[in-house]
């Protein structure tokens, strides 16, 4: 089991690395070269850089993941593909993507895109909070425990 992070704009990277360390799991941060960093990472963390461009990190995550891996992303399209690969997928705000909620999320994304193309304004996501980080940490921990128990 490996944790893959869609890392270009992920606000919970530190939480992922800390929790993964507690369970001795590998973490792969996938990000664009335009977000290159010289920061030293923990031994269990690897960074994979991809060319800049729409969905390049998503394509790499899809290529790398295997069933039972965990993916952290805010991208509904990537979440849907990874669910199809039998991965556990978690949003940075702490909810799990499932077969039961992904169609609704994709439809809402589509509806909002159509509204914007028609000149209407849509609300953006609410601000990321400390409570969101706490909920994320709990969801990730519970997901790891479940996957390890049901190995």
Tell me the per-residue pLDDT of 34-76, one tens digit each, with 9 for 90 and over.
Answer: 777 777 788 999 999 999 888 899 999 999 999 999 999 988 8
Number of domains in the chain: 1
What's this model's pTM, rounded to 2 decimal places?
0.86
CATH classification at residue 48 = 3.40.50
Tell me the per-residue pLDDT of 111-135, one tens digit each, with 9 for 90 and over.
Answer: 666 767 777 776 766 788 999 999 9
Of residues 16, 30, 27, the one with CA closest to residue 141: 16
- Residue 138 confidence (pLDDT) above 80: yes
**How many Cα atoms sit within 13 Å of 2 on the Cβ side?**
17
Tell me the per-residue pLDDT of 74-95, one tens digit each, with 9 for 90 and over.
Answer: 888 899 999 999 999 999 999 9
What was the pLDDT predicted at 122? 67
What was the pLDDT predicted at 112? 63
Range of the domain at 28: 2-149
For the ranges 16-25, 85-94, 102-111, the lowest mean pLDDT is seen at 102-111
DSSP state of 10: -
Of residues 19, 11, 123, 31, the one with CA closest to residue 74: 11
User: Would you list the DSSP string of 87-116?
Assistant: -EEE-TTS-EE-TTTHHHHHHHHHHHHHHH
User: Would you list the DSSP string of 25-66?
Assistant: -EEEEEEEGGG---PPPPTTEEEEEE-SSTTHHHHHHHHH--
């Amino acid at each position: 089991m490996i944790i893959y992070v869609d890392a270009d704009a992920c606000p919970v990277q530190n939480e992922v690395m800390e929790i993964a360390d507690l369970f001795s799991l590998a973490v792969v941060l996938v990000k664009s070269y335009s977000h290159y960093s010289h920061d030293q990472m923990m031994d269990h963390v690897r960074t994979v850089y991809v060319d800049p461009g729409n969905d390049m990190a998503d394509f790499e995550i899809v290529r790398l993941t295997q069933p039972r891996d965990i993916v952290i992303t805010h991208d509904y399209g990537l979440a849907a593909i990874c669910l199809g690969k039998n991965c556990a997928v978690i949003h940075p705000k702490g909810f799990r993507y499932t077969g039961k909620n992904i169609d609704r999320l994709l439809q809402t994304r589509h509806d909002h895109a159509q509204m914007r193309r028609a000149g209407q304004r849509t609300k953006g996501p609410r601000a990321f909070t400390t409570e969101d980080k706490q909920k994320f940490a709990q969801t990730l921990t519970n997901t790891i425990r479940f996957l390890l128990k049901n190995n």
